[in-house]
A and B are shown apart, each in its own frame.
Chain A
Amino acid sequence: MRAGVLVFPGSNGDRDLAVAFRAAGFDVKMVWHKDSSLPDNLDIVGIPGGFSYGDYLRCGAIAAQSPICRAVADHAGRGGYVLGVCNGFQVLTETGLLPGALLRNSGLKYVCRTVGLQVATAASAFTENYSAGDTVEIPIAHHDGNYFADDDTLARLHGEDRVAFTYLDNPNGSVQDIAGILSENRRVLGMMPHPERAADPVLGGTDGKAMFHALAGTFATA
């Protein structure tokens, strides 16, 4: 099993994401943003949290135009898996791989704390080790996590069971409490909370671990 984790100038969750993938049994390659192709035979690409390109213009906007993101779009287009966390979620919406956008938090403050999430669907390789309705504790750390999508997009997301996680106590104004969404083929997940920061007891929680193990299970049997 091979995972690639992108590294942009300003990424700060890249090594955490790599540790969580490795702990679940993945061989992890770090992939520099200037590379124009991904390493061969990757099962999944992780787009980490942080402040790619200093959040200039809009969070994730410059990263979305980087050479490696074209390769990630091709990978996703071929049915490849992608996990975007926090800034990675912002990058995925800016590339158009996921619908909607992440706006400034409604309270205008950077919010950094562990929050309760509800698993909205277990029907994905990311969430199949949870049950729909489960409550998990996962940290958030963002200034621009206020998910927005128009009514048609929201209706489609719900109709296709593509909302992956919702906040129990909305910390940022996200429409319909949405914390994470899946692509149409359910192989791209973007979420603001950080499962990799809740994947080892030493970090204060392990509720995120099930995601990395679920992915490992998918690729081990593939």
Chain B
Amino acid sequence: MLKTGVLDPQGEAVRHALGAMGFDGVNGVRQGKVIELDLDDSVSEEDVTRMCEQLLANTVIESYSVEMG
């Protein structure tokens, strides 16, 4: 997800479109990205966090969260 404070023009365009379609009450839309990884059992959550820090997210502008399932 783009961090709070970073303008998300795509999210803003989606919010306008929802309003134009008659969906009222949508105060804000933030658009993000889901990346699914198919992992060996040997890969830890810590490894995935390192992947996020080094490539999957740009932490200058994006926040991320990891879910292992």
A→B interface (CB under 8 Å): 57-58, 61, 65, 93-94, 99-101, 103-108, 146, 148-150, 173
Residues of the B chain whose Cβ atoms lie less than 8 Å from the Cβ of A148:
6-7, 60-61
Bound-complex Cα distance A101 to B58 (A)? 8
11 examples of A-B residue contacts, CB within 8 angstroms = A100-B60, A103-B7, A103-B61, A105-B9, A106-B7, A106-B9, A146-B9, A148-B60, A148-B61, A149-B60, A150-B60
Number of interface residues of B (CB under 8 A): 12
Given contacts A107-B9, A108-B13, A146-B7, 14 further A-B contacts (CB under 8 A): A58-B58, A61-B55, A100-B60, A101-B58, A101-B60, A103-B6, A103-B7, A106-B7, A146-B9, A148-B6, A148-B7, A148-B60, A150-B60, A173-B7
Residues of the A chain whose Cβ atoms lie less than 8 Å from the Cβ of B2:
103
Give the A-B pair count, Cβ closer than 8 A.
Answer: 38
Bound-complex Cα distance A58 to B60 (A)? 13
Of residues A93, A94, A103, A108, which shows the largest number of chain B Cβ atoms within 10 Å of its Cβ?
A103
Indicate with 1 or 0, residue by residue over B12-49, a CB within 8 angstroms of chain A CB atoms: 01000000000000000000000000000000000000
Bound-complex Cα distance A100 to B58 (A)? 10
Residues of the A chain whose Cβ atoms lie less than 8 Å from the Cβ of B54:
65
Tell me whether chain A's interface is mostly helix, strand or loop, or mixed: loop
B→A interface (CB under 8 Å): 2, 6-7, 9-10, 13, 54-56, 58, 60-61
Partner of B55, one of A65, A107, A108: A65
Q: In whole Å, how far is B6's beta carbon from the nearest beta carbon of chain A? A: 6
Residues of the B chain whose Cβ atoms lie less than 8 Å from the Cβ of A107:
9
